[in-house]
Chain A
Amino acid sequence: MTLDRWIALVILLICLAYGYAAFFTMDHLLPPFMQRNPIWPSTFPKVLAVLASLTALVVLLGLEPAPKDKGTPDIDYRRLGDYKIGQALILLGLMVLYALMLRPAGFIIATILFITLSAVTLGERKFHFLVPIAALATGIVWWLVQGVLGIFLRPLPFFLG
């Protein structure tokens, strides 16, 4: 089975779970006065669940004729090993780490580390350029966001205030 059909299967399962929630778990929370309305909070989700399940089935069962000219894919997922998948996974890990560290480590340290480590992952080794650029960009963005726009960004780690 091709990847697009696997994805259609996953979406179908999600739609079934969504539909189950819409059909069986939402309406009993409805206050009596709302039950007299022609439309309930579950009405739109019910319609969407049915339509999305049917459309997912169309894709899953391959009922639509395949395109004649598929062209060359951007990335061929069947040959993922030929690409720099390791670098991509490390960068995703760094993004998750950044999300978790942003508050406790503070914006400045977390951001400088994120930019520096991402560039190092991609092969950059000129630290005398990289670290000052990362620090400068971090400082400018922090000043713009906190100073100019007034959106709170804790600059330093929590134990430093």
Chain B
Amino acid sequence: MIEGLMLGLSTAFSIQNILMVIGGCLIGTFIGMLPGLGPMSIIAIMIPVAISIGDPSAALILLAGVYYGAIFGGSTSSILLNAPGVAGTVATSFDGYPMARQGKAGKALTIAAIASFAGGSLGAIYLMIFAPALSSVALLFHSAEYFALMVLGLSAIAAFAGSGQVGKAILMTLVGLILATVGEGALFNMPRFTMGLMDLQSGLSFITLAMAMFALPEALFLVLNPARSKTEGGGGKIDNLRITRAEAKAIAPVVGRQSVQGFFIGVLPGAGATIASFLGYAVERNLAPKKEQEEFGKGSVKGLAAPETANNAACTGSFVPLLTLGIPGSGTTAILLGALIALNVTPGPRLMIDEPQIFWSVIISMYLGNLVLLVLNLPLIPYIAKILAVPRNYLIPFILFFTLMGAYIGQNNATELLLLVGLGVCATILRFADYPLAPLLIGFILGRMLEDNFARSMQLYGGIDFIWERPMTLGLLVLAVGLVLLPGFRARRAKARAAGVADGD
């Protein structure tokens, strides 16, 4: 391993490859900030550039830099505008945006940058140590386990429901699942609930729904109540970039736990950054003491650090099946696989033996990429955060414009814009009545994968016997039930304790 590491260091630290990392991170960050352009589309756009370089190591280093940069850029628009353009950064907006509204935009971006750096760097260390062993573990996961994992992801709804709102949260999740059934499913290949509309044949777009659920209602709320555009502290002045010792102490264990959990979820083909970030958020909320739990969703530093660490660690983890088995675990890594094949590199078990310089230089470039993102972005944070100081008369039209463009670029279809407005109005009304919207989006994101894996498992086992016959499936499902029931159990125990104290027990 030491030999490989030295080889990777010498390759990654060449002037050309350092420039590739810096260039990739910068391009990824700036384009990733535009809602609607996720890492998948940015990498697809960059492939011709990467191939024209000719050197596979340099090309992969450039694309990996773009990948990390785009995820980081997506977090920035989630925090500042509540406009998550990538599914993996939806959970970032839950606490990042409230922090920005409290005048802590700079601090939120700093936490996001540090958590991303830590998640990505620790993930790269795990990749280096565990890659060969993990690839065989990932192969043990079949559709039944994926189904159970999706259920575990959905159990995160308990984390988004306030007291007395679990019913509403479950209802919203089910509505999200219902919306995911619109269009042709991968397994059945038959249009469902399209009402005869060709535009609904391929289903609703995630970007349209995410914009309609988060960005559009927020912009409308800013219009309805102009006082909302005045942040609570600072009035647009960005002066509190530094995190306090207490905050650092609070997020350190979160970063430690979520880098491991996120990485392992990323290793599983098909799971990826989205489930990692939602589960990371849910697990940290459930682990937090009762008082801190109430801060989640209102600007908790732990609530921001958890998904940011988890999604970056998962991105790194997704390279395990790609590099060691040649199996792309997500849409983004599928595009990376295409790029590798175009560069005459065959990823798989022999990559480490036949072309060690590629394998190791990519791992080293991951450290470098995360470091470059931190070094480049920390000094830029005061300027990036100034977006919030733009006068309301200009900020709102531009939020609306980027929301519309995000939906349009994703589908290249004007009907998508009408859908966006319609869904946005519905989301605003739901917000009036205090219905949580995050569960709807989680249901939608996981819905299709959940149904496909459920259907596959049912077909393989001729019924629901797969639940009993596969211990890992059963274990994950039990864990999911536990995740939903735990907050209620803890609340009841705390109530019983309080009653005991009151009675002088």
Residues of chain A touching chain B, judged by Cβ–Cβ distance below 8 Å, are 2-4, 6-8, 11, 15, 18, 21, 26, 29, 34, 37-39, 41, 43-45, 48-49, 51-52, 55-56, 58-59, 63-70, 73-75, 77, 80, 83-85, 87-88, 91-92, 95-96, 98-100, 102-103, 111, 114-115, 118-119, 122-124, 130, 133, 137, 141, 144-145, 148-152
Q: Chain A: which residue is nearest B450 at the CB level? A: A44
Those of B147-199 within 8 Å (CB) of chain A: 162-168, 170-171, 174-175, 177-178, 181, 185, 188, 190, 192-193
Q: Are B171 and A48 in contact (CB under 8 A)?
A: no
The answer to whether the Cβ of B344 comes within 8 Å of any Cβ in the partner chain is no
- Residue contact A75 to B401, C-beta cutoff 8 Å: no
Kindly identify, within residues 426 to 482 of chain B, every residue whose CB is under 8 Å from any CB belonging to chain A: 429-435, 451, 454-455, 458-459, 462-463
- Closest Cβ of chain B to A119, distance in Å, is 5
Q: Are B421 and A68 in contact (CB under 8 A)?
A: no
Tell me the nearest residue of chain B to A37, going by C-beta: B459
Contacts of A103 in B (CB 8 A): 414
Known contacts: A39-B455, A141-B405. The answer to whether A74 contacts B431 by CB under 8 A is: yes
Q: Check if B414 sits within 8 Å of A102, measured CB to CB.
A: yes
Closest to A90 in B: B223
Q: How far is the CA of A92 from the CA of B224 in the complex (A)?
A: 12
B418 interface residue (CB < 8 Å to A): yes
Q: Nearest chain B CB to A69's CB is how many angstroms away?
A: 8
Size category of the binding interface on chain B? 35 or more
Task: Tell whether B289 is near chain A: CB-to-CB under 8 Å.
Answer: no
CB A78 to nearest CB in B, in angstroms, measures 9
Most A CB contacts (10 A, CB to CB) among B174, B192, B226, B418 go to B174
Can you list 13 residue pairs at the A/B interface with Cβ under 8 Å?
A26-B192, A38-B463, A69-B163, A92-B421, A95-B404, A96-B418, A99-B414, A114-B401, A114-B404, A122-B223, A122-B397, A124-B394, A151-B412
Known contacts A98-B404, A98-B417; is-contact A122 B163 (Cβ 8 Å): no
Answer whether residue B112 sits at the interface, using C-beta atoms and an 8 A cutoff: no
Binding site for A on B (CB under 8 A): 34, 37, 41, 45, 162-168, 170-171, 174-175, 177-178, 181, 185, 188, 190, 192-193, 219-221, 223-226, 228, 392-394, 396-398, 400-401, 404-405, 408-409, 412, 414-415, 417-418, 420-421, 425, 429-435, 451, 454-455, 458-459, 462-463
Question: What residues of B have a CB within 8 angstroms of the CB of A100 in the complex?
Answer: 414, 418
Check if B193 sits within 8 Å of A18, measured CB to CB: yes
Residue of A nearest to B419 (CB): A99
Contact at B223–A84, with CB atoms within 8 Å? yes
In the complex formed, the residue of A with least CB distance to B298 is: A71
Which residues of chain A come closer than 8 Å to B394, judged between CB atoms? 119, 124, 130, 133
Which residues of B are found within 8 Å of A75, using beta-carbon distances? 221, 224-225, 431-432
By the criterion CB–CB under 8 Å, are B433 and A44 in contact? no
> Which of the residues A3, A18, A145 comes within 8 Å of B409, measured between beta carbons?
A145
* Inter-subunit contact B164/A68 (CB<8 Å): yes
Residues of A within 8 A of B433 (CB): 2-4, 6-7, 77
Contact of A55 among B37, B170, B188, B417 (CB under 8 A): B170
Asked whether A68 lies within 8 Å of B455 as measured between CB atoms, the reply is no
Q: Please classify the interface of chain A as helix (H, G, I), strand (E, B), loop, or mixed, using the class held by over half of its residues.
A: helix
Judge whether B454 and A39 touch: CB under 8 Å: yes
Which 9 residue pairs across A and B have the least CB separation, nearest first? A99-B417, A67-B164, A118-B397, A52-B174, A4-B433, A124-B393, A77-B432, A83-B224, A41-B188
Minimum CB–CB distance from B398 to chain A (whole Å) comes to: 7
Supposing A92-B425, A102-B408 touch, asked if A11 and B455 sit within 8 A by C-beta, the answer is: no
In the complex, are the beta carbons of A3 and B432 less than 8 A apart? Answer: yes
- Which residues in A have their C-beta under 8 angstroms from that of B434? 4, 70, 73
Residues of A within 8 A of B224 (CB): 75, 80, 83-85, 87-88
Which residue of chain B has its CB nearest to the CB of A64?
B167
Please measure, in the bound complex, the distance between the C-alpha atom of A141 and the C-alpha atom of B37, giving whole angstroms: 13
Q: Are A38 and B459 in touch, CB under 8 angstroms?
A: yes
Which A residues are CB-close (under 8 A) to B417?
A: 95, 98-99, 102
Q: Is the CB of B178 within 8 A of A52?
A: yes
A137–B334 Cα distance when bound, in Å, is 33
In the bound complex, CA of A48 to CA of B434 (Å): 23
Residue of B nearest to A103 (CB): B414
- Contacts A99-B421, A111-B401, A122-B392 known; A91 to B454 CB distance under 8 Å? no
Taking a contact as CB atoms under 8 Å apart, the answer to whether A44 and B221 are in contact is no
Separation of A122 and B449 alpha carbons in the complex (Å): 42
Chain A nearest Cβ from B390, distance in angstroms: 10
B192 / chain A contacts, CB cutoff of 8 Å: 26, 41, 45
Would you call B175 and A11 a contact (CB within 8 A)? yes
Could you tell me the distance in whole angstroms from the C-beta of B130 to the nearest C-beta in chain A? 35
Q: List the B residue with the shortest CB-CB distance to A91.
A: B223
